[in-house]
Amino acid sequence: MSQVDRRQFLKLAGIGGVAFASGLGFDAYAANKHNAKTVAALDFYFVQLSDTHWGFNGAAVNPEATNTLTKAITAVNNLEQQPDFVIFTGDLTHSTDDPNERRRRMAEFKAISETLKVKNVKFLPGEHDAALDKGEAYQEFFGSLHYSFDHKGIHFIVLDNVSNPELNLGEAQLNWLKADLQHHKRHAPIVIFTHRPLFDLYQQWDWFTRDGQAAIDLLMPFKNVAVFYGHIHQVHQHETGHIQHYAAQSLIFPLPAPGSVPKRAPIPWNAAMPYQGLGYKNVEAYPKSKRYEIEDIPLVSGEAL
């Protein structure tokens, strides 16, 4: 794909009221002429969809729960220039104690996700998908709980911080991460996808990963790292040193800003502004110009973020 000009991209997306997060530098990596032949430093973009909670039932917070996911997929399918891939960052389904119902929800979710025009679709688990059965059903439908892949010069790592009762990464996965990173140079662009924030965003609301700092410590030697996650149902940006962390909106209900209210309760549905606070994230990668540009797209065009 040729470089997607920013203005053109917005036109292609057909959106207004887009919020821009700060870019992320690719530093020496793209500038290193020795990498030029080995790295396909092409510009591209991907879409992050998060926290769809398929199977959720709560009219007070989303009376359109059975339509919200399809509405988001329609929005992505309507992009004239399709993303290189789409990733769902956890809580694909809403938790249930019934293993059969869990699998039914996952089957339905998977069938709906297959209506995306783009066929390169990635998944990772949220605690609603994987915590009660340690990811057993999730793996039947969506494959590995953690994995990595490369795309046009960027190394993407998918981490699972939900499938054990402690809601952490665990020693085995941290060892795997360490081994995976050993294959990459310190200036390599690396993107982490995970569900819960790796840093301590707000412990009082369980918005952290107990051993997330261990992962951050492993990533710190790498100069170009960005983390994209879900879980908190709102846009958020944070820095741990030079590592950028970006949270995506949910596609079922928004949650309040951390610590802004006593209880971590869903924000009620606003009939005057349906789908308010719901949306998805478009991430443009510009390796040649050493930056990302991130847009948080409201599910209803024109809504202020």
Partner 1 sequence: MSLALSTRCSLLLFLLTAVGINCLYADTLAPTDHQMPVIQILASRYRFEPAKIVVKKGQAVILEIQSSDRLHGFAIPGLGLRSDARPGQMTRVAIKPEKTGTLTYFCDVFCGSGHEQMSGEIVVE
Q: Which residues bind partner 1 (CB under 8 A)?
A: 94-97, 127-128, 131-132, 162, 165-167, 203-206, 262-265
Write down the least CB distance from residue 280 to partner 1, Å.
21
16 or 259, CB closer to partner 1? 259
CB of 85 to partner 1, least distance (A): 28
Residue (167 or 218) nearer to partner 1, CB:
167
- By beta-carbon proximity to partner 1, the closer residue of 133 and 180 is 133
**Strand-by-strand arrangement of the 279-286 sheet:** 19-21, 291-298, 279-286, 44-49, 85-89, 121-124
* CA count, 13 A, side-chain hemisphere, 110: 17
In whole angstroms, the minimum distance from the beta carbon of 60 to partner 1 comes to: 13
Going across the sheet that includes 243-247, the strands are 147-151, 154-158, 189-193, 224-229, 243-247, 236-240
Q: Which is nearer to partner 1, 155 or 196 (CB)?
A: 196
CB of 257 to partner 1, least distance (A): 16
Cα gap 305→303, rounded to integer Å: 6
Rounded (5°) CA angle 90-111-250: 30
Q: Specify the residue, 98 or 183, whose C-beta has the smaller distance to partner 1.
A: 98
- Are 242 and 223 in contact by the 8 Å Cβ rule? The answer is yes
For residue 155, which amino acid is it?
Answer: H
